[in-house]
Amino acid sequence: MSRFLALHFPNLLTDYLATKKTELSGKVYVFTLSQKNRIMVTAASKEAEQQGISAGMVLADAKAIVPGILAFDDRTDFNKKLLIRIAKWLVRYSPTVSIDLPDGMILDSSGCSHLLGGEEKYLESILGKLRESGYTCHGAISDTIGCSWAIARLGRKSPIVMPGQQYNTLLNLPPTALRLEQPVIERLHKLGFDKIGKFIQLPASMLRRRFGNETLLRLGQALGTEEETITPIIVRSPFEERLYCLEPIRTKPAIEIAIERLLEALCERLSKEGLGIRSAELKGYRLDGKVTETKIGTNQPTHKVPHLAKLFELRIDQIEPDLGIELFTLSAVKTEPVLIHQEKLWNGRPGLADQNLVQLLDRLAGKIGPQAIRRYVPQAHYWPERSLRPAVSLEEKTEVRWQRSNPRPMELLHRPASIQVTAPVPDYPPMNFRYKDELHMVQKADGPERIEREWWMEKGEHRDYYILEDEKGRRYWVFRSGHYNEEGSAWFLHGFFA
């Protein structure tokens, strides 16, 4: 037999502010929401209610009563996020918890209440903990979601409805207890149906004709003749492993063994779910009460123990065991699905899909830092400074191809450097140039390659690029800005070839 617990938070937002923002204590404030070109009050603090302000009032009228009233925008997503946070905490009381916007929650308490000594103690425990946290909360338990919802909000008697007694429980409640739309409720009141008991026995055809199918559906859900399900929130279990040490650990080999055991247990769980580690954190709890922390990161998700163990080995020197570590915890801070690449028998250029390359990059990042490793992807621009950008990740791909018709330098200066050039005649490559007080004699040259400025983005001169090789075999990418000028053209060095 199914049993459902409904919770109602009549002052959800004001209770939250009262617990988190003590500077509002004793002040008059309300929450507002725009409805039909009017700003309406959706919730009011206790101080506001004492001065005659209530939910449903126009904000302008509330300000006329209390000129200095504080108004907060009541965003529906804030309600949802707050309820989800509470629901995640309530998972300890039931594995199936669903939020009921804007101010409620439904728990499937079937088979759960006996763990706390029965439904009365079960309900008292939940309401007591919520009230200790500062939330005003009402609850009810019955066989159906609809009946529990009604008693939690409008019930005046026992919050626990005995099995099969929802019919008698609903008789003296108003139509709003059936979760009907406001026009239907107003129509019922006009006909004198101010209680559910006055129309619950009317023929179904009459109720359907006068009040629509929704009335029959909601009535059936409350009585249990119509099925109603809830959509529970999904609480992802944290991927964390613990290792208690029989004796305090201080040596490097012992720490390595502890890390390997933790990785074996954690990676086994991750592999079963098809996940891999992108970021992991190792904590060591010392005898003196302090905690040492070490983190690693990977370019691609992986659950390979040897590779992850090598990354932690690079960080063992950062662990300070002091008198000894008695507890280790390893948690996967960030996980992603593991993509298994299809390998070919004859493939000489696996590229970024090569796992050996990925593991090498991870080890280099562990030694010199991830900021020292960069990857660039092309952009659809002619102007050299805009023709590439840093890649977001190692897996990022783009449809834009690298420019292959003319060679480009391996190293491009962030800002072109001014140089002094000696050129014989217009459009001829330089004979020599001076860069950083060093004179370079040009032995070989290629060019010019004209690159026009992207006029739709900025104004300026075009560039004539040359590839120059000096007497030492070093190659440079230089350009003349604009057309040849007898009084002296402006030349710049923009990059270096390998």
Output the pTM of the full model. 0.49
* Residue 90 included in any domain: yes
Confidence (pLDDT) at 345: 47
CATH number of the domain at 78, please: 3.30.70.270
- Considering the domain architecture, whether residues 331 and 449 belong to the same structural domain is answered as no
- Considering the domain architecture, whether residues 9 and 132 belong to the same structural domain is answered as yes
- Considering the domain architecture, whether residues 93 and 198 belong to the same structural domain is answered as yes
Place of tokens 């005898």: 287
Q: How far apart are the first and last CA of the chain?
A: 76
For residue 27, with 0-12 CB atoms within 10 Å meaning exposed, 13-18 middle and 19 or more buried, which class applies? Answer: middle
Give the span between the Cα atoms of 475 and 152, in whole angstroms. 80
- Considering the domain architecture, whether residues 151 and 52 belong to the same structural domain is answered as yes
- Considering the domain architecture, whether residues 27 and 154 belong to the same structural domain is answered as yes
- Considering the domain architecture, whether residues 88 and 195 belong to the same structural domain is answered as yes
Domain count, the chain: 3
Looking at residue 451, its amino acid is I
Contact of 435 with 493, CB cutoff 8 Å: yes
Element (H, E) at 41: strand 38-44
- Considering the domain architecture, whether residues 149 and 23 belong to the same structural domain is answered as yes
Give the span between the Cα atoms of 284 and 141, in whole angstroms. 45
Confidence (pLDDT) at 212: 87
Name the domain boundary from 351, 375, 400: 351
Rounded to 5 degrees, φ, ψ at 117 are: 95, 20
Q: Which two tokens stand for residue 221?
A: 């859900």
- Considering the domain architecture, whether residues 33 and 14 belong to the same structural domain is answered as yes
- Considering the domain architecture, whether residues 334 and 222 belong to the same structural domain is answered as no
Give the span between the Cα atoms of 158 and 147, in whole angstroms. 13
Q: Which two tokens stand for residue 52?
A: 């005659």
- Considering the domain architecture, whether residues 284 and 208 belong to the same structural domain is answered as no
Distant-in-sequence, close-in-space partners of 7: CB < 8 Å, separation ≥ 6:
104, 105, 106, 107, 126, 130, 137, 138, 139, 152
CATH number of the domain at 303, please: 3.30.1490.100
Give the span between the Cα atoms of 179 and 152, in whole angstroms. 12
- Considering the domain architecture, whether residues 211 and 246 belong to the same structural domain is answered as no
Give the span between the Cα atoms of 237 and 335, in whole angstroms. 12
Name the domain boundary from 202, 235, 268: 235
pLDDT tens digits, 42-92: 777 777 878 888 877 888 888 888 888 888 776 667 778 888 989 988 888
* Residue 406 included in any domain: no
* Residue 375 included in any domain: no
* Residue 277 included in any domain: yes
Among the listed residues 160, 177, 76, the one whose alpha carbon sits nearest the alpha carbon of residue 118: 160
Contact of 170 with 147, CB cutoff 8 Å: yes
Contact of 208 with 131, CB cutoff 8 Å: no
pLDDT tens digits, 251-268: 988 999 999 999 999 999
Place of tokens 């590229």: 351
Rounded to 5 degrees, φ, ψ at 330 are: -125, 120
* Residue 358 included in any domain: no
* Mean pLDDT in consecutive groups of 10 residues from the start of the chain, 498 residues: 89 74 64 74 77 82 84 72 88 88 89 86 92 90 92 86 90 90 89 89 88 90 89 76 87 91 91 89 85 86 89 86 88 84 54 67 71 76 82 73 81 90 83 92 91 86 93 93 80 91
Name the domain boundary from 178, 210, 235: 235
Domain containing residue 189: 1-235
